[in-house]
C-alpha cells in the first residue's frame, strides 16, 4: 500500500480553507486543515506531513513566526498563501523558509500546480496502459 501524503493546511478563513482542502484532496493529498497558527505548529510535528500551506494572515500569531516554528519541526516544503502582494512580504516569506507562495486570490490550478511541483510524489499514478504484447503477432 502506498504511503499517504499528508498536507497540513493552516488557514483561518473557512471558505478558503475549504477550497484549499478540496483542491489538494483532488491533487492526491490527505488534508489536515487547522484554523490557527498554534494548531498549525502543533500539527506540524507529525512526520507524515509532506507539504504545508500556510496563510500568513492568521488571527493568533504572525505568519512568519508560525513559519519558523513549523520549519524547526518539519522538513516538508512550506507554501505560503498570502493576501499581501508586497515584494517585502514575499522576500520575508522566503527568509522564513517558504518553498513557494501564492497571492490570494489564486486560481485552484495554480495551487495544484505548485503543490505538485513542491511535492511530486503526491501525483496519483496514472493507471498502467493496457499491455500490448506484439511478440505473439
Ligand atoms: Ca487569513
Per-residue pLDDT of the chain (137 residues; tens, 9 = 90+): 556 799 999 999 999 999 999 999 999 999 999 999 999 999 999 999 999 999 988 999 998 899 999 999 999 999 998 876 666 766 776 777 889 888 888 999 999 999 999 998 644 555 566 666 655 55
Long-range contacts of 117-121 (CB under 8 A, 24+ apart): 118/51, 118/77, 118/79, 119/5, 119/7, 119/29, 119/50, 119/51, 119/76, 119/77, 121/5, 121/50
Ligand 1 midpoint to CA 14 (Å): 9
Is the residue at 126 inside a domain? no
Q: How far is the CA of 10 from the centre of ligand 1 (A)?
A: 9
In this predicted structure, what is the pLDDT of residue 122?
45
Residues around the ion ligand 1 (C-beta < 5 A): 12, 55, 57
Q: What is the pTM of this model?
A: 0.82
Overall number of domains in the chain: 1
Q: What would the grid cell of residue 56 be?
A: 500568513
pLDDT of 94? 74
Residue 81 CA, ligand 1 centroid: distance in Å: 9
Query: How remote is the CA of residue 75 from the centroid of ligand 1, in Å?
Result: 23
Rounded to an integer, what distance in angstroms lies between the CA atom of residue 54 and that of residue 34?
A: 10
Residue 131 grid coordinates: 499491455
Residue 135 in any domain: the answer is no
- What backbone phi and psi angles, to 5 degrees, belong to 32? -115, 115
Distance, CA 115 to ligand 1 centroid (Å)?
19
Are 57 and 63 spatial neighbours (Cβ–Cβ below 8 Å)?
Answer: yes
Q: Domain for residue 133, yes or no?
A: no
Owning domain of residue 56: 5-118
Q: What is the pLDDT at residue 96?
A: 77
Is residue 42 a part of any domain in this protein? yes
Amino acid at each position: 500500500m502506498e504511503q499517504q501524503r499528508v498536507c497540513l493546511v493552516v488557514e483561518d478563513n473557512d471558505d478558503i480553507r475549504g477550497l484549499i482542502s478540496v483542491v489538494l484532496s483532488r491533487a492526491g493529498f490527505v488534508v489536515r486543515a487547522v484554523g490557527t497558527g498554534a494548531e498549525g505548529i502543533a500539527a506540524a510535528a507529525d512526520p507524515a506531513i509532506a507539504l504545508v500551506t500556510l496563510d500568513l494572515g492568521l488571527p493568533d500569531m504572525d505568519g512568519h513566526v508560525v513559519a519558523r516554528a513549523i520549519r524547526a519541526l518539519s522538513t516538508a516544503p512550506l507554501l505560503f498563501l498570502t493576501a499581501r502582494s508586497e515584494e517585502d512580504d514575499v522576500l520575508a516569506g522566503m527568509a522564513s523558509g517558504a518553498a513557494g507562495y501564492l497571492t490570494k486570490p489564486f486560481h485552484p490550478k495554480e495551487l495544484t500546480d505548485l503543490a505538485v511541483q513542491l511535492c511530486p510524489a503526491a501525483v496519483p499514478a496514472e493507471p498502467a496502459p493496457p499491455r500490448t504484447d506484439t511478440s505473439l503477432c
